[in-house]
Amino acid sequence: MLWYVALPLILIALYLLVTNIRIVPQSQAYVIERLGAYKETWNTGLRLKVPFIERVAQRVSLKERVVDFAPQPVITKDNVTMMIDTVVYFQITDPKLFTYGVENPLSAIENLTATTLRNIIGDLELDESLTSRDLINTQMRSILDEATDPWGIKVNRVELKNILPPKDIQEAMEKQMRAERERREAILRAEGTKRSAILIAEGEKASQILEAEAYRDATIKRAQGDSDAILMVQRATADGVKALLEAAPQDVIVKLKGLESLTKMAETPSAKLIIPSELAGLAGLAASAKEIIKE
């Protein structure tokens, strides 16, 4: 009879035991409450809770989360309204504070991100807002991380995903970019033309220098040739005189002197010359020598 009473109790106890066993997975934490009050936080492993007294109040993921918030209207310092959407990377570091710190953590982070973004962009002009993404990201991460610390949340990164200025501002920026590209193109074209002109001038200069050097070398060679020719004529004349002197020095000198005197007399138009046969032969010999030297 006792078995009929004990068996249901044993089955109920086994059922309660099995249903109150919890296995906490990796990268998760369970927040446990006892009679409505916080008791402890379970980390990874096999856990057993007391039935009817304890309950799992919150299952918290400890992995890093990525939240993409909708675009928010912000106004710059120069009164330009832009739409900016942000991406926040955060991680829960304290499951207890995350569970009891704020009612809706994601909504709180979104609103905090929007207000922080408006405050930062409000101190910047349009051009600064478009070119200072890293500065804005750093400031937002620092402010959000400090503000969410009481909620058990650590903000790792904040990124501005898109910055959308008004349509008229976009058109003006596109025109400015087009004008800048055209200006750079004109500068590059002018630099190319300038470089080409410089290269052509340098080529002409080098050509003229080479022509001048060639003319100079030719003139020097020509002068050296004339000098060598004159030197050869003088040497031939000296050799001829030397040969005559060796043959009959006194007679030849006398005859040459007489021939020179007759030559000077012949320069007078009214003079009539009678050349002795000895001088005529010597003059023929001299003329023959000159012909040989010319050849």
Q: What's the pLDDT score for residue 32? A: 92
What is the reported pLDDT for 289?
43
Rounded-to-integer distance, Cα 283 and Cα 273, Å: 14
DSSP 29: E
CATH class held by domain 65-165: alpha beta
Domain positions in the chain are 2-60, 65-165, 210-294
Q: Residue 218: what pLDDT?
A: 84
> Which tokens sit at 266?
């012949």
Measured distance CA(143)–CA(122) in Å, rounded:
16
Q: Quick one: pLDDT at residue 258?
A: 57
Residues counted in the chain:
295
Contact between residue 159 and residue 135 where contact means Cβ atoms under 8 Å apart: no
Report, as ranges of residue numbers, the positions in the chain whose pLDDT lies below 70: 1-5, 240-295
Which residues have CB under 8 Å from 239's CB, separation 6+? none
Q: What confidence tens digit (pLDDT) does each residue in 138-197 have?
A: 999 999 999 999 999 999 999 988 888 878 777 777 777 788 888 888 888 888 888 888
Residue 65's SS3 state is strand
3-class DSSP assignment, residue 231: helix
**pLDDT per residue as tens digits for the range 59-73:** 999 999 999 888 888
Q: What is the pLDDT of residue 175?
A: 79
Q: At what angle do helices 167-247 and 249-266 cross, to 10 degrees?
A: 120
User: What's the CA gap between 35 and 39, in Å, rounded?
Assistant: 9
